[in-house]
Structure 1
Amino acid sequence: MTLDRWLSRIPIDSPSAFMKQVPTLIGFGIVALIALMPNGVPVTDWPEFVASIVLVLVATVLSLVVPWRRLAAEWAVIVPVLSLFAVGLMRLGTGSSASPFVVLTLLPFVWIASEEGRINILIAAAGTFIVLLAPLVIDGGGGSPADVVRAFFSPVLYLIVAVVINEIAHRMRVQLKVAREAVEQQQQLLAQAVTAQDELVLNEARLKTANRLIQSIWNAVTEQSVIGTDLDGLIDVWNPGAAKMLGLTEKQVLDGKHHIIDFHDTQEIEQRLEDMDARVTTVSSVDEFSALVDTVRAGSADVRDWTYVRPDGKRVAVQVAATPRLDENGHRVGFIFVATDMTQAREFARLKDEFVGLISHELRTPLSSILGYLELMRDDEEAPLSEEQLQYLGVAERNAHRLLRLVGDLLFTAQVESGRFPLDIKDVELGSVVSASIESARPVAANAGVTIVGDLPDGPLTVRGDAVRLGQAVDNLVSNAIKFTPSGGTVTVALRAEGETAVIAVSDTGIGIPAVELSRLSQRFFRASTATRNAVPGVGLGLTITKAIVTAHGGRLDIASEEGVGTSISIVLPVETPEPVTAAIPRAEVAP
């Protein structure tokens, strides 16, 4: 092993006690060789000479075996203090004050003075003073005046040197600590930079993957047009679905000159502006654009039916969902319009309504004829029927009436869909309407084992409306409540005034409806899962018709239900005279 490699193993920032003791050990070794040489410095006192060698060896062994790093820093000066005393004994053994080996004092002195702590300055100076003064004291004050001057003057110089060494060592330690912290910080920063670089590469790969996925999804959306605009309506996003729907490629549109208003029916825009109480005589492009995004600017998404006009003049009926377009800071920078072609859907709905209306008319006539002939058979006095025949005839009549009611419901829904929903508006005393519904339902409730309770006000409660249609609505609610309430349950029909409204509330203790299905109850042919699970008869038109009637009277239908507990449905009607309203019946999502 070379000297350089051996020295490289020495910790520069904090060498061990043994490494600090090595120079002193080497110095004593050299002194011993010189003293033992024939022409060397003579040994004047062998016991003191040997004691100095032994003491420095003891100090060296202590520097090796004692774990000084685990002890407090001030304990480490024990080794150089012992070495300093060994120097004093060496002087006494090799000529006392005339010994040439006084220079060895520097080695332990520097060690002590360079240790951390101002107390080590005093220890180094005091130890040096003792080493230099001891020969004079032991010799009985002998020696030349120069020796006496050196004995007292030298410790003062050593004290000054100790101060300087201690301060320099202290500053070097501070600088070394700062340098070490800087190196550690650089290493941490380097490690963080490497980690950040790895994460950057990984995120870049993820971003590329996400971009490819988004691009794939974007290109796959061909049945819906997605159009993006800036805050003024200029188009800057145009997907393949928009190209297919409107007949223009992305390159043709993204030239900074196409406005989304260019693809809308002008009359629909003007009608929308009129609904917004806007002036339509001299509207600007920005005003027209407000017809599309007024609701979105207010903070809500807007779903509305519009008509797109292609450059070739072809009109496309669409349903457009308009939403805000936000940047990374959440600021609105434009708008997104997602349009679905509703041409086929509306045509299918129209054909279905025509079919339902046609079939209903075709069924109503023969059903009426069947009921008429059944009544003639039952009332024929010339050929009276037996009890068994009358029983069979009653079953046929009940089923014929049930079919006739179903046909009537289908015709009613067709009228609502077509906008032909007449109301005979008069003063209607709701108490009599509700009472009639309760009395009509009592036999059915008794057969089902259900108690029906009426809660009516003492005085009259009058509204403007169609008494027949309102009675139909209440009958539907009461009938449903009885059907969905098991034997032993209760149906409560209450009428009350609440401010400027009249409320007819029908509550039951029945099977209830799941919360997730409440919003779909007014859709045609929809039936709650609890109804189908419990095999409750019905086709899913009762609530649909009821809501249409209530909406036409300017009211609303409130529904609250808990599965297994019961349901409460309230008809809320304005006491003031309502403007007749045609209520569109929601499309069925479940096939009849």
Structure 2
Amino acid sequence: MTLDRWLSRLPLDSPSAFMKQVPTIVGFGIAVVIAVLPNGVPITNTSEFVAGVVLVAVASVLSLVVPWRRFAPEWAVVVPTLSLLAVGLLRLGTGSSASPFVVLTLLPFVWIASEEGRINIVIASLTTFVVLLAPLVVDGATRSVGDVVRAFFSPVIYLIVAIVINELAHRMRVQLAAAREAGERQETLLAQAVTAQDELVLNEARLKTANRLIQSIWNAVTEQSVIGTDLDGLIDVWNPGAEKMLGLTEKQVLDGRHHITDFHLPSELAERLQDMDARFTTVATTDEFSALVDTVRAGSADVRDWTYVRPDGKRVVVQVAATPRLDENGHRVGFIFVATDMTEAREFARLKDEFVGLISHELRTPLSSILGYLELLRDDDEDPLSEEQLQYLAVAERNAHRLLRLVGDLLFTAQVESGRFPLDIKDVELSSVVSASVESARPAAANAGVTLVAEVPDHTVAVRGDTLRLGQAVDNLVSNALKFTPSGGTVTVALRSDGSQAVIAVTDTGIGIPAVELSQLSQRFFRASTATRNAVPGVGLGLTITKAIVTAHGGRLDIASEEGVGTSISIVLPVETPAAVTGAIPRVEVTP
């Protein structure tokens, strides 16, 4: 065990002061031994010799027991100053200026000169000056000129040495402080690096776990195809569900640089472009892709029915949810298409349509019979009914007519779904159709407290079509607008000619429809959430029938609505004879 470690265990405040004193103690010990030995350095003045030994002992004890760290740093030089004076006494007691122990002066001198502060240069120089000049003063003997010069020249040299030592010690302290600060910074940086490394390892483990989880989920999605594309529609993501649905592996698709439109029916894309008011000429690839993502580019998710085409030519009816694909900064870098196979659902819907058509057809005959007998009872002159009985009969007749209309609507939707329903094509003057619908709806508008306004131009607006069916379509829109408009609101039915198109717009100030539900409005039996919340009566067939009629006439149905503000639905019809109006129409989609 070293002395320093031993001293560090003692209840001392500043063992460093004592450690600095140790060289002086050792030097004095050697000098005392030499002085007391026979034939050693003679002791010329015992009192001064003993005083020097006592003084250095006192300085040593002070260095050991005094808590120097609790005082200002300049107080610590008391110990080497006393030691330096003790060297002077030792020198006087062992031959004065001829004493060989003058060399011990260097030990406390270096200590004082190396302490921080320029004042210690002065202390070291003055104390050394006293020690070196003391023999000249105390002895009183005549000295040669060389002794005098040496006595005064030596302190000057000590002064220069003190300055050098103090400066070197100062620079060493500065460098040591800088090195210590750099070491502390390095330790801090090392600790931060270790912490960052630990966090990196932890995050890497979490990332691997998350990647394994995502990969497991990705591989488990086999019933829905998930296809990702860049902004131009080039496929770069292909999940196992897509492989199962479309019969191509991920490697085949990515290596072949397939485009998402490669798996769509061109006719469906073209029809969608028509609905978007695109120019229906030769369609470029980018235009076809726009048919898939136009709604998504506008900022909304899009759920729509499409038909996928496999490489072997087999067709798969799917419902596709298209959403934007974002990077870590929230910027759109592509699109995601999640498709669900609707083949079984469509088959179920077909069977349901057949069932509905069959039941509706079977219901018409007894309903017609019921209405006929009710009419006979009402018109029986031989046995007239009482006033109360006529009221009961009117209620039964009104509900029977309502049920018959519902059966008729169900039959019509079944005909639409089968792709064929009858149309009586002739010239139709739309002003009379709109006026008739408005006049028919005025009693209902008055009862509901809604203002019904007709805006019909003076000039003739004519199209080729079925008067009865077009009137039915306008009636449906006006009826819906009245049902969804609270008392005090307004419903406006406007007819206008727009170039090669005729437009019938029905606008209300009603409860409106949420934007996310607009794409589902023309689905059979669908009712908007605002309708169910406000308990508006209906079964959800009116817009389905209206969309089918308008599509059969080569037109389109435009819907715009804002919840709490109102709704505007426009029937847009071609003024020229539509090629599709022949009574036999292609299958009518039920999404707007």
Question: What range is the shorter-chain TM-score in?
Answer: 0.7 to 0.9
**C-alpha displacement at 1:248, in angstroms?**
4.2
Q: Which residue of 2 aligns with 1:392?
A: 392
| Inter-partner Cα distance in structure 2 for 1:328 and 1:530 | 36
| Inter-partner Cα distance in structure 1 for 2:396 and 2:372 | 12
Q: Is the 8 A contact 2:561 2:567 kept in 1?
A: yes
Change (3 A) 1:191 1:47: same
Q: Which residue of 2 aligns with 1:168?
A: 168
Q: Return the TM-score normalized by structure 1.
A: 0.73
Q: Is the 8 A contact 2:44 2:95 kept in 1?
A: yes
Q: 1:558 aligns with which of 556, 561, 572?
A: 561
- 1:242 and 2:242 are equivalent in the alignment: yes
The equivalences for 1:50-449 within 5 A come to 50-69=50-69, 71-140=71-140, 142-227=142-227, 238-250=238-250, 253=252, 256-257=255-256, 259-260=258-259, 264=263, 267-268=266-267, 271=270, 280=282, 288=285, 291-292=288-289, 300=297, 306-320=306-320, 338-411=338-411, 413-414=413-414, 418=419, 426-427=430-431, 437-443=441-447, 445=448
Q: Which residue of 2 aligns with 1:492?
A: 489
5+ unaligned residues in a row in structure 2: which ranges?
Answer: 463-469
Residue 255 of structure 2: SS of its match in structure 1? coil
| Inter-partner Cα distance in structure 2 for 1:462 and 1:351 | 48
Change (3 A) 1:189 1:230: same
Q: Return the TM-score normalized by structure 2.
A: 0.73
| Inter-partner Cα distance in structure 2 for 1:44 and 1:382 | 172
Q: Is the 8 A contact 1:24 1:83 kept in 2?
A: yes
Alignment-mate amino acid for residue 479 of structure 2: D
Alignment-mate amino acid for residue 504 of structure 1: T
| Inter-partner Cα distance in structure 1 for 2:515 and 2:336 | 32
| Inter-partner Cα distance in structure 2 for 1:497 and 1:255 | 52
Q: Is the 8 A contact 2:547 2:557 kept in 1?
A: no
Residue 539 of structure 2: SS of its match in structure 1? coil
Change (3 A) 1:354 1:50: farther
Q: Is the 8 A contact 2:556 2:573 kept in 1?
A: no
| Inter-partner Cα distance in structure 2 for 1:175 and 1:525 | 87
**C-alpha displacement at 1:24, in angstroms?**
2.0
**C-alpha displacement at 1:293, in angstroms?**
6.7
| Inter-partner Cα distance in structure 1 for 2:15 and 2:405 | 106
Change (3 A) 1:353 1:69: farther
Higher mean C-alpha deviation, range 25-34 or range 270-279: 270-279
Higher mean C-alpha deviation, range 465-474 or range 527-536: 527-536
Q: Is the 8 A contact 2:305 2:319 kept in 1?
A: yes
Change (3 A) 1:351 1:586: farther
**C-alpha displacement at 1:377, in angstroms?**
1.0
Alignment-mate amino acid for residue 202 of structure 2: L
Alignment-mate amino acid for residue 169 of structure 1: A
Q: Is the 8 A contact 2:228 2:236 kept in 1?
A: yes
**C-alpha displacement at 1:199, in angstroms?**
3.8
Q: Is the 8 A contact 1:224 1:341 kept in 2?
A: yes
Alignment-mate amino acid for residue 240 of structure 1: P
| Inter-partner Cα distance in structure 2 for 1:294 and 1:93 | 115
Q: How many residues align?
A: 554
Q: Which residue of 1 aligns with 2:466?
A: none
Alignment-mate amino acid for residue 256 of structure 1: D
**C-alpha displacement at 1:239, in angstroms?**
3.4
| Inter-partner Cα distance in structure 2 for 1:167 and 1:207 | 58
- 1:477 and 2:474 are equivalent in the alignment: no
Q: Which residue of 1 aligns with 2:465?
A: none
Change (3 A) 1:546 1:272: closer
| Inter-partner Cα distance in structure 1 for 2:68 and 2:572 | 98
| Inter-partner Cα distance in structure 1 for 2:318 and 2:452 | 48
Residue 561 of structure 2: SS of its match in structure 1? strand
**C-alpha displacement at 1:391, in angstroms?**
3.9
- 1:569 and 2:560 are equivalent in the alignment: no
5+ unaligned residues in a row in structure 1: which ranges?
Answer: 446-451, 483-489, 562-567, 588-592
Q: Is the 8 A contact 1:473 1:549 kept in 2?
A: no
Change (3 A) 1:475 1:211: closer
Question: What do residues 28-76 of structure 1 show as CA deviations (whole Å, max 9, x unaligned)?
Answer: 3444444455655455555554544444344434434454445554443
Q: Which residue of 2 aligns with 1:485?
A: none
Q: 1:454 aligns with which of 448, 451, 454?
A: 451
- 1:505 and 2:504 are equivalent in the alignment: no
| Inter-partner Cα distance in structure 2 for 1:234 and 1:533 | 43
Change (3 A) 1:493 1:352: same
Residue 403 of structure 2: SS of its match in structure 1? helix
| Inter-partner Cα distance in structure 2 for 1:575 and 1:246 | 37
Question: What do residues 410-466 of structure 1 show as CA deviations (whole Å, max 9, x unaligned)?
Answer: 3555566558697956126979966763532444x5xxxxxx253869x97789695
Residue 431 of structure 2: SS of its match in structure 1? strand
Q: Is the 8 A contact 2:44 2:93 kept in 1?
A: yes
Change (3 A) 1:89 1:378: farther
Change (3 A) 1:407 1:272: closer
Q: Is the 8 A contact 1:235 1:256 kept in 2?
A: no
Q: Is the 8 A contact 2:445 2:452 kept in 1?
A: no
**C-alpha displacement at 1:106, in angstroms?**
0.8
Residue 16 of structure 1: SS of its match in structure 2? helix
Change (3 A) 1:44 1:555: same
Q: Is the 8 A contact 1:35 1:41 kept in 2?
A: yes
